[in-house]
Amino acid sequence: MDSEEKEQARLATYLDAKGYVWFHVPNGGHRNKVAAFRMKQAGQRKGAPDCILISGEGGAPLPRPIAIELKRVSGGSLSKHQKYFLGEMERCGWDTFVAKGSQAAIDWLVEKIEKAANEEKSEENE
């Protein structure tokens, strides 16, 4: 079973290769008390999603900003803080997705982008 860290690395490789403009929120991992205190002072928030996508492949605009919370393929569940963040983002018009592994995130993105492209073509033909 792959760790969430390995899944994140796979997703990062895909997003970079496709030219997405995005960033990872490094909330996980173990830190000493001083580092944890400094990160909290600097604005780290429990529950912030793992990946924030600003633009799509090759810098193409996205229909809506995207937040992805990445979990291991097997196991892993959302914390109350993660549920809160994702809910607030959806309320504000973001697309959010909880992915069980990097491949699930990639599949969702491909479907999302293809659907948006098809809707755009349909509107142009009207």
Ranges of the chain with pLDDT below 50? none
Q: Is 49 left (phi over 0), alpha (psi -120 to 50) or beta?
A: beta
pLDDT given for residue 102 in this prediction: 96
Find, among 55, 54, 50, the residue nearest to 104 by Cα.
Answer: 50
- pTM: predicted TM-score of the whole model, two decimal places: 0.85
Strand 95-100's sheet: what is its strand order?
21-24, 51-55, 66-71, 95-100
Q: Which CATH number fits domain 4-124: 3.40.1350.10, 3.40.50.1360, 3.40.50.300, 3.40.630.10?
A: 3.40.1350.10
pLDDT value, residue 91: 97
